[in-house]
Amino acid sequence: MATSEHEELKQNLLTRLKTVKGHVEGVERMLEEDKSCQEILIQLSAIKSSVNRIGLSLLENDACQCIVESIKEEEDVELAVKEALDTVLKFTKKK
């Protein structure tokens, strides 16, 4: 990935994480102020969704980048694909 693209992605992810941080701090205040469980759960759901979107964005970029680099360097592409898939499975694993 070109440096400018990498920096743009990094800044985008950092901005989104700061937004999540603000939402988490808001939930903390809601708990301190004894807000309703429903209001808090709605905010937690929004936080969870935001974190998942950030992870998917990072995952998409990382998986593509690893595979592209392996092809460029004539490395084991099959291994790169397997590692990318393993990462996808770990990220999406439900507990």
User: What pLDDT score was predicted for residue 86?
Assistant: 86
Report the alpha-carbon distance of residue 59 to residue 89 in Å, rounded: 11
Half-sphere exposure of 75 (CA within 13 A, CB side): 11
- Asked if 47 and 21 count as a contact pair (C-beta separation under 8 A), the reply is no
User: What pLDDT score was predicted for residue 64?
Assistant: 74
What parts of the chain have a pLDDT lower than 70?
1-2, 94-95
Q: What is the CATH number of the domain that holds 80?
A: 1.20.58.1000
Residue-range definition of the domain harbouring residue 50: 3-92
